[in-house]
């Protein structure tokens, strides 16, 4: 964060007239670098990652990846249990740094077909290029937010961009306005787009796995063990849910299973 803030203030000082454009594009490049280095540089700082020794599991996951034309740099278990009882799994990284990560809680509580359905969901994100779409959408959002910030701060505070000292002085207002714009203008929209991506990934998962019921038991188990609200109010889903509620995902899974 310190490096990113330093980059932002440097851009403001270097090109005050077009800082919002250059900073927005710079954030896109940072996102690509971060996505690439995240699993091999950032994650190991906070958790321990050990290769999964269960060959039945790794072979099953390898087949799921191969169906989508993906290769993994390895299958790793994350010691998430020392922080929480919640379960998590993800594909992290781009290119050669891509790896499959399963929380130890998930390995303990789910069988192989259930874990297959979860990883097939993550593969769905890659098949639909959701990572790149999120980077593109995030860049567009950041450009709009920075542009509105530029207009608002210059209108309210004429001193904005006249010097780095003034930029630092006005930084609290910068953060407050940026948070407000991002939350109220893009929060619900971003959640809606994310839920759509998650539905696409669920459909791909159901299409890839043989045992459709494994998807249902995996979702139900997650809802139970992670204490998720399967049927939230509409306004709660609109404001806070980046994933479809478990109830909706179960219904979709049941409808999909009936076709096979």
DSSP 107-142: HHH--HHHHHHHHHHHHHHHHTTHHHHHHHHHHHHH
**How many Å separate Cα 185 from the centre of its chain?**
19
Give me the mean pLDDT over the 79-94 stretch.
84
Give me the mean pLDDT over the 94-100 stretch.
72
| pLDDT-wise least confident of 70-74, 94-98, 196-200 | 94-98
| N-to-C CA span, the chain | 49
Indicate whether 96 pLDDT > 70.
no
Give me the mean pLDDT over the 79-92 stretch.
87
Q: What is the pTM of this model?
A: 0.85
| pLDDT for res 95 | 66
Q: Which residues of 202-236 are buried (b: 16+ CB within 10 A; e: fewer)?
A: bbbbbebbeebebbbbbbbbbbeeeeeeeebeeee
CA–CA distance, 17 with 21 (Å, rounded to integer): 9
Indicate whether 85 pLDDT > 70.
yes
Segment (H or E) for 91: strand 89-92
* Residues spanned by the domain of 65: 2-258
Angle at the Cα of 258 from the Cα atoms of 257 and 260, rounded to 5 degrees: 70
Indicate whether 260 pLDDT > 70.
no
The pLDDT tens digits of the residues spanning 134-185 come to 889 989 999 999 999 999 999 999 999 999 999 999 999 999 999 999 888 8
CA–CA distance, 109 with 105 (Å, rounded to integer): 6
Domains in the chain: how many in total? 1
3-state secondary structure of 153: helix
Angle at the Cα of 86 from the Cα atoms of 62 and 192, rounded to 5 degrees: 80
Determine phi and psi for 90, rounding to 5 degrees. -165, 160
Give me the mean pLDDT over the 21-42 stretch.
84
**How many Å separate Cα 98 from the centre of its chain?**
15
The pLDDT tens digits of the residues spanning 188-242 come to 999 999 999 999 999 999 999 988 999 999 999 988 888 888 899 999 999 899 9
Give me the mean pLDDT over the 240-254 stretch.
93
Other CB atoms within 10 A of residue 41 CB: 11
Indicate whether 92 pLDDT > 80.
no
| pLDDT for res 191 | 93
């Amino acid at each position: 964060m310190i490096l990113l803030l330093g980059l932002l203030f440097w851009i403001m000082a270097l090109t005050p007239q077009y800082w919002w454009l250059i900073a927005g594009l710079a954030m896109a490049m940072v996102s690509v670098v971060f996505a690439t280095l995240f699993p091999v540089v950032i994650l190991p700082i906070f958790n321990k990652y050990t290769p999964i020794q269960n060959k039945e599991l790794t072979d099953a996951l390898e087949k799921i990846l191969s169906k989508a034309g993906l290769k993994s740099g390895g299958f790793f278990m994350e010691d998430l249990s020392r922080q929480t009882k919640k379960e998590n799994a993800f594909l992290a990284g781009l290119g050669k740094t891509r790896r499959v990560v399963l929380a130890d809680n998930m390995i303990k509580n789910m069988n192989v077909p259930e874990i297959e359905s979860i990883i097939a969901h993550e593969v769905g994100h890659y098949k639909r290029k959701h990572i790149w779409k999120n980077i593109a959408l995030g860049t567009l959002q950041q450009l709009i937010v920075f542009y509105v910030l530029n207009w608002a701060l210059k209108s309210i505070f004429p001193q904005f961009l006249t010097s780095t000292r003034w930029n630092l002085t006005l930084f609290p207002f910068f953060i407050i306005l940026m948070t407000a714009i991002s939350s109220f203008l893009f929060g619900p929209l971003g959640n809606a787009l994310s839920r759509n991506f998650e539905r696409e990934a669920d459909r791909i998962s159901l299409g890839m796995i043989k045992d459709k019921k494994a998807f249902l038991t995996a979702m139900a188990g997650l809802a139970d063990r992670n204490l998720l609200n399967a049927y939230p109010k509409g306004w709660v889903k609109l404001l806070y849910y980046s994933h479809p509620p478990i109830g909706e995902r179960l219904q979709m899974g049941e409808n999909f299973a009936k076709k096979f």
